[in-house]
């Protein structure tokens, strides 16, 4: 089982996170980095990690005990601008993802772990770029997918993600909520080995309070919960957003289905900022990601925390193993 890791924005903390975690033995060594060899080599020398690197342009060239870097040859050492937004870096970071997804679709790697790109940098050459999740789904030619944040303290799946808050209410519909409940339930079931307890958050304060603060709970969310329950899921909702995450944190639920980006992200990042993992549900490929950004302010200083990457790698391994077993049945 070979895990592919995209290097992320070359001016950010991606390269050092890979090198540091590899050096400390925090991740299994049978992985391949998709990126630029010169960038990885520069970071390795600058921070004196002394990780043995192996430049490859074909997976047959992999060597055991070394950090194998699939070199796309997009950037050289002279192109690195530590901690800066760069069109070259943004373009390269997007290309790493594009190539890695093609490898996963071709079965050359069993799972994909992505390190952070800088959206502003990517948009300098692709103004329509909204994020990793949407881009990877597009590459997979899939429209049915969802984002889920997994941590040891709280797990949250999202009905909507990268859209303005003004558009959230009109995007909440029964079909989409049922879809996310199904995607989240299936993924958590693979991770836990049992059917999960699912909570569905309301959209409005106090889950609408019987329509006093909005009707989305009555017209869309409650019918979706009923439908999912009829499909066999152990699911409750709509529950008040101001208490549902606390209940899940205390162990009453395995996953919360949140209605929008910040409703789900804020509690996860508050409870486990360094350990959260972003999982894209419903794709043809297994994809996980760190739940943090490029951290330009600390890039190439050797202080970036590796916990989220290590967790993302572990979750990718678990999901790819379960997916492989399911396909063998």
For the chain, what is the mean pLDDT? Answer: 94
Condensed to tens digits (0 to 9), the pLDDT of residues 64-117 reads 999 999 999 999 999 999 999 999 999 999 999 999 999 999 999 999 999 999
Q: What's the order of all strands across the beta sheet hosting 287-290?
A: 53-56, 67-71, 31-35, 3-6, 111-114, 287-290, 277-281, 146-150, 155-158, 255-258, 197-201, 234-239
CA distance 111 to 285: 7
Q: How far apart are CA 267 and CA 150, in angstroms?
A: 12
Using an 8 Å Cβ cutoff, are 238 and 225 in contact? Answer: yes
Which residue carries 């993302």 as its tokens? 312
Peptide bond into 136 cis (omega under 30): no
Dist. CA 197–CA 256, nearest whole Å: 9
pLDDT-based confidence at residue 324 (cuts at 50, 70, 90): low
> Which pair of structure tokens corresponds to residue 62?
């992999």
* 119 pLDDT more than 90: yes
Between CA 76 and CA 190 the distance in angstroms is 41
H or E element that contains 175: helix 174-192
pTM: 0.88
Q: Are 136 and 288 in contact (CB under 8 A)?
A: no
Calculated CA dihedral for residues 45, 48, 49, 54, nearest 10 degrees: 20
The predicted pLDDT at position 143 comes to: 86
Phi/psi region, residue 128 (left: phi>0; alpha: psi -120 to 50; beta: rest), is: alpha
Taking the C-alpha atoms of residue 17 and residue 313, their distance in angstroms, rounded to an integer, is: 12
Mean pLDDT, residues 161-173 taken together: 93
Residues 269, 291: contact at Cβ < 8 Å?
Answer: yes
Nearest to 105 by CA among 147, 145, 148, 136: 136
Give the integer Cα–Cα distance in Å for 2 and 104: 10
Name the phi and psi angles at 203, rounded to 5: -95, -45
User: Whose CA is closest to 51, among 10, 42, 59?
Assistant: 42
Pairing of strands 287-290, 277-281: antiparallel
Instruction: Set out the domains of the chain in order of their start, with CATH numbers.
Output: 1-142+283-329 (3.40.718.10), 145-278 (3.40.718.10)
Confidence bin at 132 (pLDDT 50/70/90): confident
What confidence tens digit (pLDDT) does each residue in 256-311 have? Answer: 999 999 999 999 999 988 888 999 999 999 999 998 899 999 999 999 999 999 99
Question: What's the average model confidence in pLDDT over 175-196?
Answer: 95
Q: Which value, in Å, is the radius of gyration of the alpha carbons in the chain?
A: 20
Which among 1-5, 212-216, 249-253, 325-329 has the top mean pLDDT? 249-253
């Amino acid at each position: 089982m070979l895990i592919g890791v995209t290097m992320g924005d070359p001016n950010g903390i991606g390269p050092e996170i890979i090198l540091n975690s590899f050096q400390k033995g925090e991740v299994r060594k049978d992985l391949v980095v998709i990126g630029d060899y010169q960038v990885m080599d520069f970071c390795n020398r600058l921070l004196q990690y002394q990780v043995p690197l192996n430049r490859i342009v074909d997976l047959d060239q992999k060597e055991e005990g070394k950090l194998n870097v699939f070199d796309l040859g997009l950037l050289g050492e002279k192109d690195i601008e530590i901690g800066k937004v760069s069109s070259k870096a943004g373009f390269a970071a997007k290309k790493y993802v594009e190539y890695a997804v093609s490898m996963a679709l071709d079965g050359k790697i069993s799972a994909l772990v992505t390190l952070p790109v800088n959206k502003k940098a990517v948009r300098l050459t692709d103004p329509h770029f909204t994020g990793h999740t949407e881009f990877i789904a597009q590459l997979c030619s899939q429209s049915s997918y969802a984002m889920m944040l997994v941590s040891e303290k709280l797990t949250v799946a999202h009905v909507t993600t990268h859209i303005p808050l003004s558009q959230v209410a009109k995007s909440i519909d029964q079909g989409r909520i049922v879809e996310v409940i199904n995607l989240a339930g299936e993924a958590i079931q693979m991770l836990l080995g049992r059917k999960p307890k699912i909570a569905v958050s309301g959209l409005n304060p106090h889950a609408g309070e019987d329509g006093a603060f909005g009707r989305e709970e009555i017209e869309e969310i409650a019918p979706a919960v009923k439908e999912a329950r009829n499909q066999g899921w152990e699911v409750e909702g709509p529950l008040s957003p101001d208490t549902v995450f606390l209940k899940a944190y205390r162990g009453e639920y395995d996953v919360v289905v949140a209605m929008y980006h910040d409703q789900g992200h804020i509690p996860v990042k508050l409870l486990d900022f360094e350990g959260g993992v972003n999982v894209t549900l419903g794709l043809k490929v297994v994809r996980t990601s760190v739940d943090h950004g490029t951290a330009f302010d600390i890039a190439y200083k050797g202080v970036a925390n590796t916990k989220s990457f290590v967790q993302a790698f572990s979750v990718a391994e678990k999901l790819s193993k379960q997916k492989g077993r399911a396909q063998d049945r």
